[in-house]
Chains A and B, each alone.
Chain A
Amino acid sequence: MGEVAEPKTSSNARNGNSHRKSGDGAVVEAKAISRRNLRNGLLFIAPNFLGFMFLILGPVIALFYIAFTRWSAFGDPKFTGTHNWVRLAHDKIFWASFWNTFYYSVVHIPLTLIIAFALAVLLNSKLKGRTFFRTVAFFPYITSIVAAAQVWSMLFDPKSGPINMFLRLFISNPPNWLGSTAWAMPAVIIVATWREVGYYMILLLAGLQTIPGELYEAAQLDGANGWQRFWHVTVPSMRPTLFFVIVTLTIGSFKILDLTLVMTDGGPGTSTLVLAQYVYRVAFDRSDFGYASTVSLVLFAVCMVVTLIQFWYNNRKAD
């Protein structure tokens, strides 16, 4: 809001200055200008903000109430106090999906970050054909998730899939992948990482290119080796980019839905059921929108807490 209004403020203020005669008039005029700026600023953000208010903010606020009710999407929600929350505490399927979401995030976030960063550093160097490799790395991100998930499901096929054919060269009993409770989640994580690495690589690459070359030259003169230059020049200079990447990656990981929906539909059993899919199931398969809101509030709280911790950590580092 401020950003939109600011350039106008300065130009208007300058115009005002040239006409100004007396001090009193200036105050009145300045007030008028600031009102006009406020009005213009609000007009500028109105299209976006109105959409946000009706389509996101309104429903989100309503969610806080609906989470304490019983509601089938017809008629009015019936207030049931803490009933949904007691049910939540005893709901083993909810807890399974809660831990599955954590499992997914805890493995997926560092894995994606490390690979994306490594690729970005590699493709930032003067490598032959780096444009080609950048495109290749970004490619998975622009494929349709449903098509990609379907192809991966076939690759993971325990009997005739190429992955297990390859593994059979080394071990006699390769995993059952999507048909086993232990290996279904790793399979999902592999696909998710494959898909998202390219996107985060591009973000990190952009960050890398803003680091001035002089810093590296200075470090080199001071006798820093490659590893030291990476830790003491690259990483600190990249902190704003890294912070952005980690926050979006974290929120994206906690909200994962599309991939498990297409690849495993939460199965076998509940082994890849994540919170977002549980919300979807309770709401749309069971028409239990009250309880679905309760579960989604938990998801909301988890995302919020983790992000706040990241902000706090980042600010502490920045000071």
Chain B
Amino acid sequence: MKLHQAYKPLATAAVLAVLLSGCGGGSGSGGSQSSSNETLDKNVKASISMAGWSLDMTPEFKTLVDGFEKEHPNIKINIKQYSADDYDKQLTADISSGSQPDVFPIKSLQKYYVYSQSKGMADLSDIAKGYEGDKNIDVSQYKMDDGKYYALPYRADAWVLFYNKDMFKKAGVSEPDGTWTWDDYTKAAEQLKQKLPEAGYDANSVYPIYQHTWQSVVQAFAQAQSGKEPKDNFFKGDYSYLKSYYKRALKWQDEKLTIDWNTASTNKVQYQPQFGTEKAAMMPMGTWYAAVLVEQQKNGQANKFEWGLAPVPQNPEVRNKSSKPITFGDPTGLAISSKTKGDQLKAAKEFVKWCAGEGGSKALANISTTPAYFSKSVTDVFFKVDGMAKDQLSEKTWRVHDTRPENPVGAATDTIQNVLKDTHSSIMTETKKVGPALDEAASNIKDQGVLDE
């Protein structure tokens, strides 16, 4: 009896929650139900909502919307602003209450996997099929086991090596040639360490490289270049492939080739000024940084210097079978709400298709943002931007790479990733030795009981 009464408020709350979500949900589909393959009639007006974050600092959403609306005057897209840092938390809440916007970006493949379990995303296989054989775009990362697609990429950033050509020239060290392994990278850094002060750079504040504090800077390269499938190491609880990558990372900070992790982490060092104000000659970073660098060199937040892109160094121990350099990077995708119906669904699909294709890609390339569609004309637009790197190697680096997901995608990923984050700080602060720290990680991950599920 007591229990029964205790449940009453809960039941009331549940009823109320259903009522509330009912109000927020239906964005009012006026049109008739018809096959989703049909495109929207040019004379039918439709208005859809789209999620975006930090709109004043992230011009890509507005650029896409403006470009699309110009070509499709009958469709109006309203951008709903989210917080950049808490985007996935807010979207999770929206999807679970059924109030997600019609179109929403998917920041990472892992979150794509999580959302695909929610039934909150519409099936986009019909659009994806149109791109499947296209050499200029890779949609395969969004293909689920059942062959369906719930999102399409509109940005395909990959990690590359940014380097400061002026600093290399002044120090007299030979620039990356596109064939580097991590050992070559270390050698070049050691030479720079010696020669940069002679070339007039402050020995105390200028470093050959900047390794940012994120765990991906060590772990995602190691995983992508391990030569093994994630099911044979990452999901199996074997993290020995991280060992040589951590040994190198520690060597770099011990030899003061980079700011040590502890200092960078407690002072919350930002990577943009490190490279932008010539505090580091080389920096592995995602291609999104190109847009920032171009912008900052224009507005004076960054120094004016010549820079270039090179492929990230490769694993010296495992020979690369493919001719393309192996790196990592998650595409950013667009998904459509499963609640969107009728004309709105048609309009949303039209928009997503446009963003993934040449039209959207050109618009993005024009603001130095790496798009998903790498055709010749898109590449030309990207490298024609004033202030962008100009040389052959940069162009090839940007266009050609074998890109693996930042994290292998699966049910256990978030947990493994979370435990490995602690491991990363243990190792990089040198409070634990590499071997024991990795063993401990393996045992902790096993204890979470996620590997066999």
Q: How many residues of B contact A (CB 8 A)?
A: 42
B268 within 8 A of A: yes
Chain B hits for A265, CB < 8 A = 425
Considering the chains assembled together, what is the distance between the CA atoms of A132 and B439 in angstroms?
55
Chain B contacts for A92, CB-based, 8 A: 443-444, 447
Contact segment of A25-33, A116-124, A151-159, A305-313: A151-159
Across the interface, do B431 and A284 meet the contact criterion of CB distance under 8 Å?
no
A58 touches B9 (CB 8 A): yes
Q: Which of A61, A62, A91, A267 contacts B425 (CB under 8 A)?
A: A267
- Name the A residues within 8 Å of B429 (CB-CB): 176, 179-180, 267-269
Are the CB atoms of A54 and B13 closer together than 8 Å? yes
With A87-B447, A269-B431, A286-B418 known, 20 other A-B pairs at CB within 8 A are: A54-B13, A57-B9, A58-B13, A61-B9, A72-B114, A75-B118, A93-B422, A93-B447, A157-B266, A157-B267, A176-B429, A178-B266, A267-B426, A268-B431, A269-B422, A269-B425, A269-B432, A269-B437, A282-B418, A287-B414
Instruction: Assess A93 versus B16: contact at CB under 8 Å? Given A58-B9, A268-B426.
Output: no
B284: CB under 8 A from chain A?
no
Whether the Cβ atoms of A154 and B431 lie closer than 8 Å is no
Q: B residues within 8 A CB of A179?
A: 262, 266, 429, 431
CB closest residue in chain B, given A74: B118
On chain B, the residues within 8 Å of A158 by CB distance are: 262
> How far does the alpha carbon of A87 sit from the alpha carbon of B415 in the complex, in Å?
13
How many Å lie between the Cα of A90 and that of B449 in the bound state?
Answer: 9
Contact residues of B between 81 and 99, Cβ < 8 Å to A: 89, 92-93, 95-96
- A288 and B263: CB pair below 8 A? no
- Asked if residues A285 and B418 are in contact (CB atoms below 8 Å), the reply is yes
Cross-chain pairs A/B with CB under 8 angstroms, 10 sampled:
A58-B13, A61-B7, A75-B119, A90-B449, A93-B419, A154-B266, A178-B266, A268-B425, A284-B89, A288-B414
A90 to B447, CA, bound (A): 6
B10 in contact (CB, < 8 A):
yes
Chain A residues within 8 Å of B, Cβ to Cβ: 53-54, 57-59, 61-62, 72-75, 87, 90-93, 150, 153-154, 156-159, 176, 178-181, 265-271, 273, 281-282, 284-288
CB distance from A52 to the nearest CB of B (A): 10
A153 partner, pick from B117, B267, B417, beta carbons under 8 A: B267
B287 contacts the other chain (Cβ, under 8 Å)?
A: no
Which of B117, B268, B414, B432 is in CB contact (< 8 Å) with A74? B117
Cα A53 to Cα B7 with chains together (Å):
12
B308 beta carbon closer than 8 Å to chain A: no
How far, in angstroms, from A61 to B119 measured CA to CA in the complex? 27
Residue among A61, A180, A267 with most chain B CB within 10 A: A267
Q: Which residues of B contact A54 (CB under 8 A)?
A: 13, 16
B392 interfacial contact with A, CB 8 Å: no
Closest Cβ neighbor of A161 among chain B residues = B266
The answer on a CB contact under 8 Å between B268 and A150 is yes
Contacts of A75 in B (CB 8 A): 117-119
B444 lies within 8 A of A93 (CB): yes
Q: How far is the CA of A154 from the CA of B262 in the complex (A)?
A: 11
Query: B410-453: contact bitstring with A at CB < 8 Å (1 yes, 0 no)?
Result: 00001101110011011001011000010000011001110000
A91 contact set on B, CB distance < 8 A: 447-448
Q: Could you give, for residues 163-180 of chain B, a 1 whenever the CB lies within 8 Å of some chain A CB and a 0 otherwise? A: 000000000000000000
A168 vs B109: C-alpha distance in the bound complex, in angstroms? 48
- Interchain nearest-CB distance for B259 vs A (Å): 11
Check if A270 sits within 8 Å of B16, measured CB to CB. Answer: no
* B448 contacts across to A, CB distance below 8 A: 87, 91, 93
Q: How far is the CA of A181 from the CA of B432 in the complex (A)?
A: 9
B120 at the binding interface (Cβ < 8 Å): yes
Query: A90 CA to B115 CA in the complex, in Å?
Result: 29
The one of B96, B266, B417, B437 that contacts A73, using a Cβ cutoff of 8 Å: B96
One of B7, B95, B120, B262 near A178 (C-beta < 8 A): B262
Question: B318 at the A/B interface (Cβ < 8 Å)?
Answer: no
Which residues in window 263-318 of B have CB below 8 A to A?
Answer: 263, 265-268
Q: Which A-B residue pairs are the 5 nearest by beta carbons?
A: A74-B118, A269-B426, A58-B13, A267-B425, A179-B262
